[in-house]
Structure 1
Amino acid sequence: MNRAHLPGILAMAAIVVASNILVQFLFGQWLTWGAFTYPLAFLVTDLMNRIYGAGPARKVVFAGFLVGVACSLIGTQIIGEFGPLVTLRIALASGIAFLTAQLLDVAIFSSLRRASWWKAPLASTLIGSSVDTVLFFSIAFAAGLSWIEPGNDVGWANEALPLLGMGPVVPLWASLALADWSVKLGLALIALVPFRLIIGRFGPDPALR
């Protein structure tokens, strides 16, 4: 491992750990505090990609994935009011969504790195975040995928309610997903500011030299 990549690995690990902890605490009716920290993982991936290239960015992603697996294993051993804090479905959903979305982010960023500075991070984060949201919430809570873990009752997540309390009637998890996705989109735009400031200190994109 290149020592220069260590800050990115540590930052990704910190985000994954913090998000796994904060997801246990509600923020309003549709969100958890983890919704505000997890999207920063895309910022870390994009910074690593811009500064060091796609290879190091993937290493950071895999490091974050391993930390996430460790957090899930720990969560399965902690029993809360309604059972283990992390079920098999949530563990699978989290791992699959993270790895798929982050690697997709790296690929899209790399394909757009010769475009205007903001296009690669914005497009890769928006698409990656969307894929992440769809994969996580559908795998974790959709009634049609109950065969993944038959003993895990996700009936609460499939209760039919108005979308975000005011739209058409949909399963509760759809409202949770939409709220989570909206936060990710908003943070994707905000993250362009620190992205620009940080890459400005490292000079031209090494992949374009």
Structure 2
Amino acid sequence: MSSRYLPGILAMAAVVVASNILVQFLFGQWLTWGAFTYPLAFLVTDIMNRVYGVAAARRVVFVGFLVGVACSLIGTQIMGEFGPLVTLRIALGSGLAFLTAQLLDVAIFDRLRDRGWWQAPVLSSIIGSTVDTALFFTIAFSGALAFLEPGNDVSWAGEVLPLLGVGPAAPLWVSLAVADWMVKLSLAVVALIPFRVITRKLMAQVA
């Protein structure tokens, strides 16, 4: 693997590790601090895609996936107040969501790379983030998938409450998913600034 990909690899690894740590700390009622760092993975992927191409972006994604698997394995060995910090469902949801969403982001970005400079990163990140959120929260907390880990009681996530405290009645995990998704969408737009600055600088060096 080319040494020029190393900054992207290290950045992706840092985002994944930081997010796995920060997800343990609550931010308000519906979020964790990890919700604000994890979307940066899409920024890293899109920068690599724009500057070095699809193959490089996919390599960085796979590195991020392997780092995430390692974090999950470590998390399963750390006991919290209610059991392991990372359950089988969380590990499965996290891994599948990350790999699926990131590879989808790479593919969509590549299809749109010849359009306006902002369209590829925004649309690929929004679609990827939506898929990521839907997969992770459904696999990790939906009562319909309790058979994945019968010994893991996630009934707390199914408690019916007003959506985000103000909307129609919905399971708690749906509110958590919607709040997470809204942060991802917001950061997809904000990330356009560093995306533009960093890609211009890197492409000038590559040229």
Q: Does 1:127 align with 2:127?
A: yes
Q: Which residue of 1 aligns with 2:22?
A: 22
Separation (CA, whole Å) in 2 of partners of 1:35 and 1:88: 20
Q: Which residue of 2 aligns with 1:31?
A: 31
Separation (CA, whole Å) in 2 of partners of 1:197 and 1:77: 40
Cα deviations across residues 38-72 of structure 1 (Å, max 9, x unaligned)?
A: 00000000000000000000000000000000000
Q: Which residue of 2 aligns with 1:105?
A: 105
Separation (CA, whole Å) in 1 of partners of 2:66 and 2:164: 33
Q: Does 1:13 align with 2:16?
A: no
Query: What amino acid is aligned across from residue 19 of structure 1 in structure 2?
Result: S
Q: Does the residue aligned with 1:200 lie in a helix, a strand or coil?
A: helix
Identity within the alignment, % = 73
Separation (CA, whole Å) in 2 of partners of 1:66 and 1:174: 28
The structure 1 segments of at least 4 consecutive aligned residues displaced by more than 3 Å after TM superposition are none
TM-score by length of 2: 0.98
Residue-pair matches, total: 206
Structure 1 spans left out of the alignment, 5+ residues: none
For the aligned residues, what is the CA RMSD? 1.1
Query: What amino acid is aligned across from residue 83 of structure 1 in structure 2?
Result: G
Aligned 1:76-91 pairs, distance under 5 A: 76-91=76-91
Shift of 1:132: 0.1
Shift of 1:200: 1.4
Query: What amino acid is aligned across from residue 165 of structure 1 in structure 2?
Result: G
Query: What amino acid is aligned across from residue 105 of structure 2 in structure 1?
Result: D
Cα deviations across residues 150-196 of structure 1 (Å, max 9, x unaligned)?
A: 00000000000000001111000000000000000000000000001
Query: What amino acid is aligned across from residue 32 of structure 2 in structure 1?
Result: T
Q: Does the residue aligned with 2:202 lie in a helix, a strand or coil?
A: coil
Separation (CA, whole Å) in 1 of partners of 2:170 and 2:120: 34
Q: Does the residue aligned with 2:201 lie in a helix, a strand or coil?
A: coil
Shift of 1:202: 3.1
Aligned 1:164-203 pairs, distance under 5 A: 164-203=164-203
Q: Does 1:145 align with 2:145?
A: yes
Cα deviations across residues 82-109 of structure 1 (Å, max 9, x unaligned)?
A: 0000000000000000000000000000
Q: Does the residue aligned with 1:167 lie in a helix, a strand or coil?
A: coil
Query: What amino acid is aligned across from residue 102 of structure 2 in structure 1?
Result: Q
Separation (CA, whole Å) in 2 of partners of 1:109 and 1:83: 40
Shift of 1:203: 3.5
Q: Does the residue aligned with 1:161 lie in a helix, a strand or coil?
A: strand
Separation (CA, whole Å) in 2 of partners of 1:187 and 1:70: 26
Shift of 1:201: 1.5
Q: Does the residue aligned with 1:201 lie in a helix, a strand or coil?
A: helix
Shift of 1:199: 1.3
Q: Which residue of 2 aligns with 1:49?
A: 49
Q: Which residue of 2 aligns with 1:4?
A: 4
Separation (CA, whole Å) in 2 of partners of 1:174 and 1:139: 12
Query: What amino acid is aligned across from residue 69 of structure 1 in structure 2?
Result: V
